[in-house]
Amino acid sequence: MIKRKLMMVERIMYVDSGTPLNCVFTAKIKGTLHEADFKTALEKIQKKHSLLRSRIDTDTEQYPFFIEEREMEAIPLRIIDRESDEDWLHESEKEWFRMFEDHRKPLAQLVWIKGNEVSEILWVLPHCICDGTSQVTLMRELLCLLDDPTMELDTYQAFSSVDDFLPSGFNTKKKVRKARLYLLMARLFFLMQKKSKKRNLGKNYVIHWKLNPEITNQITSKCKAHGVSVHSLLCASFMQAFQEIRGAEAKRKVISPVDVRHFIPEIKQDHVFAFAPTIELSLKKGNHGIFDQAGHIKKDLLEKLEKIEARELLWMGEQMHPLVERMISMLKSTHGGHDITLSNMGKINIPDQYQRFELETIMSPTVAFPWLNSNTLVTTTYKQEMDFTLMSNEDFLSRQKATEIKDKALELLTVSLQN
């Protein structure tokens, strides 16, 4: 049975009991689906993942805890009639603000936008329990079970604390001294910061688009020819677009989340987990072409990936719990030093052909961060199509400006493919 304190990173994504921060992941299905099969599938998925049988207790301890409930209700299924191809966007925006406050119900919700021949399925989960890989896993499991309700899922033992991930030679005494120094420096940093009352009061939005297989393959081929990654090219294109549209307001930096499973193999691909280390990447000074910048970014990314000590990061974070509320307050009130958080989830490993239906496409996850700088770009690739969701808040970056930045980035990409 789970009873563990939320990790520092989970607490930041939890925010507080009155602030929703949900991720929504959508799949478009061709074929006939049945409500009874949904309920069977959700029961088996909930049985596998203990976090889907847990609630967050904020009352009995100093810090929030996950507590697994023996009598947790089933994952709710909300069914609505499908009227247009845009329904999933409208429902996503609604689900961003769902409050998971009923302790009898799990930290998950499924939405079925039901059509005669086409449906969309939306997984809705608080960000404090899942990352992008978790969402892909849950969608894959759901589709497989909808196709074959007799299939069984293997359960796994949930970790009890970050200490479970520490290597045998981890010198806790030495790290404690380092952590105390970091905590002291962080306290001094926050004392020096002027408190800001600035908050986003506008409307959150999402802009969605796809690149067809021809353009997607051109990007991939061109990146290979230049020895750069698709991720570094996207970073370069969007940072340059921010620079050209926002001028002096542009930071020339992006933040890129990385899948923690690359560093901690005990966290399996099919485990629900929330922590993703981040890397800051920037354009090099001067006027350079997009592929030149992409080469610089790739080199910088590889160097920083080698230096990530994910196990120590998790442990060190646990020493910072006294400052979490100040961290959240700063995220809500400061512009940050970056233009955008860019999450490239890469190729999505979910089958498209099933006995009962076809997975026509997937849409990149959407999210509405409560931070002042809520600029977020998520991209996925499925069936040789790159898919993008660009999100922000009207107070921080207007939808019109975001559209201009998107168009400029696509223009830069297009020009780079022609050269």
Q: Are strands 204-211 and 278-282 parallel, antiparallel or unpaired?
A: unpaired
The pLDDT assigned to 193 comes to 72
Bridge partners of residue 357, in order along the sequence: 31
Q: What is the pLDDT of residue 184?
A: 83
- φ, ψ dihedrals at 102, nearest 5°: -85, 110
How far from each other are the two terminal CA atoms of the chain, in whole angstroms? 58
| Closest C-alpha among 126, 51, 50, 112 to residue 76 | 112
The total number of residues shown for the chain amounts to: 419
Low-confidence ranges of the chain (pLDDT < 50): none
| Burial state string for 277-308 with b = 16 or more CB within 10 A and e = fewer than 16 | bbbebbbeeeeeebbebbbbbbebbeebeeeb
CATH number of the structural domain 197-349+365-418 = 3.30.559.30
Tell me the pLDDT tens digit for each residue of 346-377. 999 999 999 999 999 999 999 999 999 999 99
Q: 31 — phi, psi (to 5°)?
A: 135, -175
Any idea where the domains of the chain sit in the sequence?
Answer: 3-157, 197-349+365-418
DSSP string, 173-222: HHHHHHHHHHHHHHHHHHHHSPP------S-EEEEEEEE-HHHHHHHHHH
Question: Residue 23 in 3-state DSSP?
Answer: strand
- Residue 275 to residue 10: CA distance in whole angstroms: 7
pLDDT tens digit string along 366-418? 999 999 999 999 999 999 999 999 999 999 999 999 999 999 999 999 999 88
Give the Cα separation of 350 and 254 in Å (integer).
28
What fold is seen in the domain 3-157?
Answer: Chloramphenicol Acetyltransferase (3.30.559)
* Residue 31: per-residue pLDDT: 97
Could you tell me the CA-to-CA distances from 178 to 167, 168, 369 in Å, in that order? 17, 19, 31
Helix%, strand%, coil% for the chain, nearest 5: 40, 25, 35
Q: With a threshold of 0.85, does the pTM exceed it?
A: yes
Q: Which residues contact 414 (CB under 8 A, 6 or more apart)?
A: none
**Helices 399-418 & 230-246, crossing angle to 10 degrees?**
130
Give the model's pLDDT for residue 172. Answer: 73
pLDDT at 419: 77
